[in-house]
Amino acid sequence: MNLTPYKPRTFRFHYVWDMNGLRLKFYSITTSSQQMPSDLALDAAKQYANVNMPILREEEGPDHGLGYAMLHFGEMSNWLLIHWWAHQDIALRLLASSEDPHEPHFISRDHRRFHACVWEHVIINHERDAWVRHAMCAPTNTKGYLEDRLPDGDY
């Protein structure tokens, strides 16, 4: 099996996205040849999440109101991953993608077995460690969690 050699991608933290009381650290991932994420794609991702996240949160029940999101501008599609913390130590997930990397319309991929790619795990691993450092300690430090961000750069 021939796998494509790993090439770092560019990671950027954008802001804390407050979605009806769910505060998400919002990141983007791009290839080195891509520009900054377009406002059109960011807006489409937010619109998709604003429609779907309230339903998912209600289905699962109480959560901690904290998490992280990433918009990964891939080579064949754009991927939106939202993880939010519930039940003390569980990260819940929403997964969506566009049909085409140039099309900002997102559709659910939660029915697929996809979890995350190697680049997305950079953020997932950082956020797991940040959750342990700031939320799974006494006293819980919500502000510390929200301020503990993966530094911008190539990973």
Residue 83 has pLDDT above 90, yes or no: yes
Q: What is the pLDDT of residue 85?
A: 98
> What pTM does this model have?
0.94
Q: What is the pLDDT of residue 36?
A: 65
The per-residue pLDDT for range 4-63, each reduced to its tens digit, is 999 999 999 999 999 999 999 999 999 866 666 677 888 899 999 999 999 999 999 999
pLDDT interval class at 75 (50, 70, 90): confident
Q: How many whole angstroms from its chain centre is CA 17? A: 11
Q: Considering only CA atoms, which of 10, 35, 12, 13 is closest in space to residue 24?
A: 13
Mean of pLDDT over the chain = 92
72 near 117, Cβ under 8 Å?
A: yes
